Every structure is written in C-alpha cells, then in structure tokens.
C-alpha cells in the first residue's frame, strides 16, 4: 500500500505531506481545487512523462516522494534485487525531481534510477484509471491488451509476435529471390570469381608477417655482409687492427712491470678487453658465414608481396584486412546459394508459418477461456451497478492470415438491458452506461492482476442517484481487499469511503495554492452536504449527509 506522499512545489501545491491508510479513500472538493493534482503527482513519481510546466511558478524544481509498503509484493521485491535497487525490507521509496528547465531525476530506495525503471516498479504497485479511461476502452487494441492481461498471456503474446515476424521474414526472402533472381545470379557469379581469387592467393595473416620479415632480411643481405666484413677487418684482418694493437700494448707494459708492479692491474684490464675483442671477432665471422644472399628467393618474395598488395588495392583494403573481407564475401555467397533453392525457401516459409500458427492457436485458446470467465464476472458486476439483465460478451473476429497480435480481433460487446441485443462497446450511446461498464471491467481486471493500489480519477462521471451509491459500495468492497483511492464529485461515492480528504484552494501572498485536509466525521458531514446542496447548505442537507454516512 501507499504509506506516504510528499509533494513540494508541484503545479499549485507548495508543500504537502500526506499519510495514507488502508481501505477506500476519496478526494473531494470544488471544481478546480486541484483534486486530480494528487493523482498526477502519484503518476509522475511512477514515471509518467513530465516537463518544466509541472514546477510551481517561481520555483526551481518540483520534488515528489512516495513511500510504499511492499512486504507482500513479491514481484517487486525480486525486481529491485535484480536491478540493484534494494532498500529497507518491506519498503520501497520512490522519488522524482523535475527542474524548471524540464530536466528530471529519479531515485528508487535512494539509488539513481531511470524513468523506465520507475514505470516498471510502478506496474507492480499502482493501477491508475483516469477519468477518460472509458474512452480508451473503446479501442480494439486496448480491449485485446486487457483480455491478454486478464488471461496472463503476456509470454504467449510475445512469442506470437516473434513467430509472426519470423514468418514474415521467411516469406520476404522467398519473394525477394523470386523477384530478383537474375540480379542475385549475377551477384553469385561475381562472388564466385572473387572468392576464387582469394582461394588462389591462399593468404593468411601468419604468412603476411613471415613474408615481411624474410623480405626485409633478404633485401638487405648485401649491406649486412659488407658491414660485417668491414668490422672484421678493423678488428683483426687489416694492418694496425685492434687485436694487434692491444696485444702489442700488453707486451710493452709487461716489460715495464719489473720497474713498477702497479702496471699489472692495467695489464689485467687489457687482457680482459682482448678476450672480449676476440669473442666479438668469432661472433662476426659466424654471423657472416650464415648470411644468405639469395637473389632468386628475394625475387620470389617480392612477387608474392606484389600479388597480395594487388588484391588488397583491388578491393580497397589493407593486406591485413583481406581475411576479414574473404569471410564476408563467403558469408554473402553462402546466403545467396542457400536462397537459390526456391523449394528450400518455400519449406522454410512453411515451417515458420506452422511455428506461428502453433503459438497463435495456443494464444487463441487462452483468450477464449479467459473471455468466458471475464464475460461472466463483468456481467455479474453490471448487475451490481443497476444494469439489471445487462450482458457483457467478448467476440472474436477471425483473421485468416493472422497478424503479430494473433489470429483474431478482440471485440468487447454489451447489452445494457435484457431487451437489447449485444452490440460492440464502441456503439454504446449512453455516457453513464459506458462509465459504469468501464468501472466494472477495470474492477474485475484489476482484481485478477493483484495490483495492491487502485486509483480512480472521476471514472464515475455521467452517473448519479442510486447508481452512484452502488458504485460507492463497489469501491468500498474493493477497498477491503486493496487500497483504493478515488477522486469524485458524487456524494454517494464519498459517503461510502472509509476515509475522506478535502482538496481546496487558498490564497497566500497573492498566490493560489492547493491544500489537502483529512476530514473527521463532522467535517465529512459538511463536505458531503456541500456536495449535495451546493452553495446554500441547510440543516436538512446536513441531516441527509449524516444519514448517508450512517449507511
């Protein structure tokens, strides 16, 4: 249930802090006092679209916060856990902030959330029936969605839509092939020629790296050999080479050690250097002997590289991208080859059609069973709304080929009186009858959906008298099962409520603001008397109001 609602700087509300109770609560007040603003605030905190126009003039932002008791709403508890939006056990706190420039921020249990997440969470908690809900109920798509929701067929509806799209795609593939077979044959031949080029080249990314390395080495083998020989000559194979000079220096210093033994340390260093120079000479000779100056191999490598570069330039890609292009061309070729078999395409189309018909027939069966139950329950609810002998039915208009919604159109039909034949709901003339039918249908479908909070925004428009009293009783009975709120102008409905709030306007510093006042019994008598008697409230009107509350 909704525990509390805080509204700040929203439309004509400066600040409201409201605590809610279980049962049936009505909101009453003069026309234009802002009764529907509370409903709008709840809708906004549940993810309804909003803009800067929702902010009270002269304020920076509107703040809306709703606290819900959710200990028995298992689906929502699972949802917040899956979305990482957990809060205190048994509580869901939802907050919405809207800036004057239209920017909106949302939070669930203190964690940032998207508007989509607010809407998803709200679907577990609240079902709002606006004052024009009966108008949307005239649309076939709304009727179908109501029936599917009542039947719990959401998964079947999704599966049928997916299967229908798959069937349509298979049918389109066959038609495209039949209509464009000549062009596709030409494309296949072109792809065959290109793929043969790739096959003849037999190229791989690993080979490309090896080719680059081998070519670089062979292309510079002469330069490497010349440099190696020059280094050997300087070190050991020319007049005055390094090895000879170092050896001579060591000999000369050895002859001087008898005069000064301290030179021995320098001689040891030179001996070490001589060994290092000799090892360098050995390494250079070994490297030079291993150098390969193979002009024929170099020519082969250059021809191979030229062929690879040529194919890459032809397809306007780099050599590194040739394998990817080869894979793409192969995939497209396989698609055309697979599609070239008209019989296979027809077989695929028929298989997709059968898969669609299978799930669509299952959906139809679920709809027809749910329609039988829904029609019975709505017909019973009509009797309680003074539509005695009235009848509600759901007709199915077959679609031979079906569509993404199934194999039939769903049509709500009604007879408001036993003397009248059932007719499509869209042809019901009386606004009062339509309002009552809407309330009956919404009440029945909401009960099955097990939404814990039901809000009705003047759905009782167009009715009065005894019918209004029956509507009030229906809502009070529903309030024993769920938390029910209703914006109403009917005293009969207001008198049936467990709780009554009065919404009124007041002027503060020249600004019109809306406030909400919980009414005690005496105050309820006055408010219901106002609703009964208008401007002049008499003792008789008050007595009548008290009697209504006594009922």
pLDDT (0 to 100) of residue 534: 66
Q: Token pair for residue 110? A: 């203190």
Cα gap 319→201, rounded to integer Å: 12
pLDDT (0 to 100) of residue 449: 64
Number of domains observed in the structure of the chain: 3
pLDDT (0 to 100) of residue 447: 65
In a domain, 381, yes or no: no
Q: Is 49 exposed, middle or buried (0-12, 13-18, 19+ CB in 10 A)?
A: exposed
Residues 504 and 536 grouped into a single domain: no
Residues 478 and 533 grouped into a single domain: no
Residues 4 and 118 grouped into a single domain: yes
**What is the average per-residue pLDDT within 247-267?**
87
The answer on pLDDT for 540 being more than 60 is: yes
Type and span of the H or E element at 304? helix 295-314
Least confident piece of the model among 12-21, 75-84, 404-413, 426-435: 426-435
**Domain CATH code at residue 20:** 3.40.50.300
Residue appearing with tokens 């906004």: 44
Between strands 406-415 and 391-403, the pairing is antiparallel
Instruction: Pick the last residue of a domain from 309, 337, 365.
Output: 337
In a domain, 443, yes or no: no
Type and span of the H or E element at 105? strand 104-108
Q: What is the mean pLDDT of the chain?
A: 86
Residues 510 and 529 grouped into a single domain: no
pLDDT (0 to 100) of residue 297: 75
Least confident piece of the model among 36-40, 526-530, 532-536: 532-536
The answer on pLDDT for 410 being more than 90 is: yes
Cα gap 9→381, rounded to integer Å: 41
Q: Is the Cβ–Cβ distance between 514 and 34 less than 8 Å? A: yes
Tell me which DSSP letter residue 320 carries.
G
What percentage of the chain's residues is helix, strand, coil (to nearest 5)?
Answer: 60, 20, 25
pLDDT (0 to 100) of residue 431: 64
**What is the average per-residue pLDDT within 82-103?**
92
Residues 456 and 526 grouped into a single domain: no
Instruction: Dump pLDDT digits (tens) for 481-514.
Output: 889 998 888 999 999 999 999 998 887 777 778 8
The answer on pLDDT for 76 being more than 60 is: yes
The three-state DSSP-derived secondary structure of 375-403 is: HHHHHHHHHCCCCCCCEEEEEEEEEEEEE
Q: Angle, to 10 degrees, between the axis of helix 154-179 and the axis of helix 181-201?
A: 90
Higher pLDDT, 4 or 514: 4
Higher pLDDT, 410 or 474: 410
Residues 221 and 122 grouped into a single domain: no
Cα gap 298→304, rounded to integer Å: 10
Least confident piece of the model among 68-72, 107-111, 187-191, 449-453: 449-453
In a domain, 200, yes or no: yes
pLDDT band for 91, please (50, 70, 90 cuts).
very high
pLDDT band for 383, please (50, 70, 90 cuts).
confident
Residues 91 and 215 grouped into a single domain: no
The answer on pLDDT for 474 being more than 80 is: yes
Residues 199 and 318 grouped into a single domain: yes
In a domain, 82, yes or no: yes
Cα gap 83→173, rounded to integer Å: 39
**What is the average per-residue pLDDT within 71-97?**
91
Q: Is the Cβ–Cβ distance between 503 and 11 less than 8 Å? A: no
Residue appearing with tokens 């008397």: 529
In a domain, 143, yes or no: no
The answer on pLDDT for 353 being more than 70 is: yes
Least confident piece of the model among 125-134, 160-169, 231-240, 411-420: 125-134
pLDDT (0 to 100) of residue 369: 96
Instruction: Dump pLDDT digits (tens) for 300-317.
Output: 878 888 888 888 888 888
pLDDT band for 181, please (50, 70, 90 cuts).
low
In a domain, 249, yes or no: yes
Percentage, residues of the chain above pLDDT 90? 32
Least confident piece of the model among 200-204, 345-349, 472-476: 200-204
Instruction: Dump pLDDT digits (tens) for 427-436.
Output: 775 666 777 7
Residues 27 and 43 grouped into a single domain: yes
> Where in the sequence is the domain holding 544, given as residue range(s)?
522-551
* 228, 232, 239, 290 from 225: Cα distances, Å: 5, 11, 21, 10
Instruction: Pick the last residue of a domain from 337, 358, 389.
Output: 337
pLDDT band for 286, please (50, 70, 90 cuts).
confident
Between strands 111-113 and 104-108, the pairing is antiparallel
The answer on pLDDT for 402 being more than 70 is: yes
pLDDT (0 to 100) of residue 371: 96
In a domain, 406, yes or no: no
Residues 96 and 110 grouped into a single domain: yes
Instruction: Pick the last residue of a domain from 307, 337, 367.
Output: 337
Type and span of the H or E element at 534? none
Residues 233 and 266 grouped into a single domain: yes
Least confident piece of the model among 155-164, 169-178, 386-395: 169-178
pLDDT band for 44, please (50, 70, 90 cuts).
very high
State which of 269-273, 337-341, 532-536 shows the largest mean pLDDT.
269-273
The answer on pLDDT for 459 being more than 80 is: no
**What is the average per-residue pLDDT within 405-413?**
95
Residues 94 and 196 grouped into a single domain: no
In a domain, 55, yes or no: yes
């Amino acid at each position: 249930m909704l525990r509390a609602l805080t509204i700040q700087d929203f439309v004509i509300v400066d600040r409201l802090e409201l605590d809610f109770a279980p049962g049936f609560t009505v909101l009453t007040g003069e026309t234009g006092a802002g009764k529907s603003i509370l409903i709008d605030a709840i809708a906004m905190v549940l993810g309804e679209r909003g803009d800067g126009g929702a902010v009270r003039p002269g304020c920076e932002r509107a703040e809306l916060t709703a606290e819900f008791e959710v200990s028995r709403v298992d689906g929502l508890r699972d949802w917040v856990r899956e979305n990482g939006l957990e809060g205190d056990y048994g509580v869901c706190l939802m907050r919405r902030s809207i800036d004057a420039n239209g920017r909106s921020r949302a939070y669930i249990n203190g964690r940032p959330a998207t508007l989509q997440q607010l809407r998803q969470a709200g679907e577990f908690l609240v079902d709002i029936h606006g004052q024009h809900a009966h108008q949307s109920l005239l649309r076939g798509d709304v009727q179908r969605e109501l029936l599917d929701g009542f039947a719990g067929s959401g998964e079947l509806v999704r599966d049928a839509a997916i299967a229908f799209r798959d069937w349509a795609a298979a049918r389109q593939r066959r038609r495209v092939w039949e209509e464009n077979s000549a062009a596709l044959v030409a494309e296949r031949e072109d792809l065959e020629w290109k793929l043969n080029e790739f096959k003849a080249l037999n190229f791989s990314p690993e080979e490309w790296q090896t080719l680059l390395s081998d070519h670089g080495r062979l292309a510079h083998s002469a330069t490497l050999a010349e440099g190696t020989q020059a280094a050997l000559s300087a070190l050991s194979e020319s007049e005055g080479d390094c090895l000879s000079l170092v050896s001579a220096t060591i000999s000369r210093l050895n002859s001087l050690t008898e005069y000064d033994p301290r030179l021995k340390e320098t001689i040891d260093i030179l001996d070490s250097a001589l060994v290092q120079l000799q090892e360098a000479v050995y390494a250079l000779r070994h490297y030079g002997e291993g150098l390969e100056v193979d002009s024929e191999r170099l020519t082969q490598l250059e021809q191979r590289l030229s062929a690879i570069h040529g194919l890459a330039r032809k397809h306007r890609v780099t050599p590194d991208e040739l394998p990817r292009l080869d894979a793409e061309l192969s995939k497209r070729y396989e698609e055309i080859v697979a599609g070239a078999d008209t019989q296979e395409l027809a077989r695929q189309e028929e298989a997709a059609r059968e898969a669609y018909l299978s799930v669509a027939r299952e959906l139809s069966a679920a709809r027809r069973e749910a329609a039988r139950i829904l029609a019975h329950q709505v017909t019973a609810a009509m009797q309680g709304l003074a539509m005695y002998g009235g009848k509600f039915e759901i007709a199915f208009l077959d679609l031979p080929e079906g569509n993404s919604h199934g194999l039939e159109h769903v049509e709500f039909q009604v007879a408001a009186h036993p003397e009248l034949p059932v007719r499509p709901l869209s042809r019901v003339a009386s606004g009062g009858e339509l309002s009552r039918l809407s309330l009956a249908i919404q009440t029945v479908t909401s009960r099955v959906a097990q939404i814990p909070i039901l809000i009705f925004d003047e759905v009782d428009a167009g009715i009065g008298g005894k019918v209004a009293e029956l509507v009030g009783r229906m809502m009070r009975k529903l309030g024993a099962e769920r938390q029910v709120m209703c914006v109403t102008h009917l005293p009969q409905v207001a008198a049936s409520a467990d709780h009554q709030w009065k919404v009124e306007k007041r002027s503060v510093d020249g600004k019109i603001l809306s406030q909400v006042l919980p009414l005690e019994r005496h105050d309820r008598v006055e408010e219901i008397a106002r609703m009964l008697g208008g401007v002049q409230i008499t003792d008789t009107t008050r007595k009548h109001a008290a009697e209504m509350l006594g009922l």
